[in-house]
Structure 1
Amino acid sequence: MFNKALDHLEEVLIAFLMAAATTIIFAAVMHRYASGVSFLYDFVGRWNFAWAQELCIIMFVWMAKFGAAYGVRTGIHVGVDVVINRLDARMRGKFIVFGLLAGALFTGTVATLGGTFVWENGAHYSIFNFFGIAPEDMYEGPTTPDLEWPTWIVYSAIPLGSALMCFRFVQVCVSFLKTGELPHHDHGHVEGLEEDTTDEQRAAQDINWFEMDDGLHPKDIAHHEGEKKEKGE
């Protein structure tokens, strides 16, 4: 249940950031052009969108960090596995586990260093000040130029996103040790687009020669090797 809730939260956060950033950019661009029209300037000229660019940059940073964690979970990240797939099953498994643990170590290190940076950049002051125990000489930390938000809030994307990415690496590694399969994403799959099997000519055109087992989590090469063994090939 925890994993499902975390998956849902991750997807909702990414979708919200994408939708919000797109909406803000659209509104800012329309405001810019409307301000150049004489009869519209009286209505929109007083609106201030100077903060829009900074906010969208912050949103895209957060979206990228949590999107990277989502990519580890679903197998979207591009990887060169030509040599790995030509190894025997035992050696291939060792290299895959090594790669996943190396990814977990790297992202865990980034999360730790990022957390230290965020803490010293003003998070400690905000937390101590919230509880009323912040000394007068404690460093408050800088703020962003336009929004005037504490920068530690913006930079929190680094430790939080990296920590989630580290967890995803460990999660995929444990799953691989249990099942021998890795998550892969079918980039040729279009959600909601089904094949037309009623017309023979159209059905022949709709054949996806690169189609994998499903749209989101196609089976790993180990799965297909197992199928071959079952069929006696």
Structure 2
Amino acid sequence: MSSHSNKNMGFEESAIALILGLMTMVTFTNVVLRKLFNSSLIWGQEVTLILFAWLVLFGVSYGVKITAHLGVDALTNIMPPKLQKVVALIAAAICIIYAFLLLKGSWDYWAPYAALDRTSGRWFPTGFEQTRDQAWYITDQVPMPEFLRFMEGWINQGETYDKLPRVIPYAILPIGSALLLFRFVQATARIWRGHQGSLIVSHEVEDEIEQMQDKKAEG
């Protein structure tokens, strides 16, 4: 199990807490409006779905950060310690490659909404290729916040947005992928230094859960 721990809230923890708070606030407000005033926030459901997508993708990198992802270690547990480390490093290298490919794909999907170019190359970026501008795409119901009007001159050629542009909710794709890549690189470094055994949750956590369940049963 990794000895890596954070006493203070990190980036993902803060983002997850904020997103959960916003989701709760929007949902609660909608419930109150429906029950008491026979009304609703027409954009509430779409905002909640967007926030949930951000929550999931932040959660993926957070899981790597705290070594919380599940995995099967029946085979590696019977290997000698040195071989376990070699296998863990190979697995980590594969995960880094996967995260890099995911980052490329995420950028290529998001870039047109930001009036930017996709990368060239099928698997690995070899440069940038001219891409059709899709910055005018907007969300279905989410209103455009006034403090974001500066984006109209930046990416939409001065044209007014009547709804929130998709570039903002879709930004979690490259952000989440970049965070995932960063956390995999961090985990690989910890494995190399011997501070972490693998990328998956260890049996120590399972033992702690069993102990908690035993205490609950005794109580």
Deviation at 1:78, TM superposition (A): 0.8
Which aligned segments of 4 or more residues in structure 1 are displaced greater than 6 angstroms? none
Deviation at 1:188, TM superposition (A): 7.3
Task: Flag the structure with higher helix content.
Answer: 1
Q: Are 2:21 and 1:26 aligned?
A: no
Q: Are 2:91 and 1:89 aligned?
A: no
* TM-score for both structures, normalised by structure 2: 0.68
Any gaps of 5 or more consecutive residues in structure 1? 37-44, 126-136, 196-204, 209-233
Aligned partners of 2:176, 2:185: CA distance in 1, in Å? 14
Q: Percent identity?
A: 23
Deviation at 1:35, TM superposition (A): 3.1
The structure number with the bigger radius of gyration is 1
**Residues 94-118 of structure 1: CA deviation (Å, up to 9, x unaligned):** 2111111111111111111211221
* TM-score for both structures, normalised by structure 1: 0.64
CA contact (8 A) 2:113 2:133 kept: no
The one-letter amino acid of 1:49's match is: L
The one-letter amino acid of 1:149's match is: L
Aligned partners of 1:187, 1:154: CA distance in 2, in Å? 36
Residue in structure 2 matching 1:164, options 176, 179, 183? 179
Residue in structure 2 matching 1:70, options 56, 59, 62? 62
Any gaps of 5 or more consecutive residues in structure 2? 1-5, 118-131, 143-162
Count the aligned residue pairs: 172
C-alpha distance 153-165 of structure 1, shift in aligned 2 (>3 A): same
User: 2:69 is paired with a residue of what secondary structure?
Assistant: coil
1:208-223 aligned at under 5 Å gives the runs none
The corresponding residue for 1:109 is 101
Aligned partners of 1:35, 1:14: CA distance in 2, in Å? 31
Aligned partners of 1:27, 1:175: CA distance in 2, in Å? 44
Give the structure, 1 or 2, with the largest relative contact order (CA under 8 Å, sep 6 or more).
2
Q: Are 2:49 and 1:57 aligned?
A: yes
The corresponding residue for 1:143 is 138
The corresponding residue for 1:13 is 15
The one-letter amino acid of 1:122's match is: A
**Two-structure CA RMSD over aligned residues (Å):** 3.1
The corresponding residue for 1:181 is 196
The one-letter amino acid of 2:184's match is: F
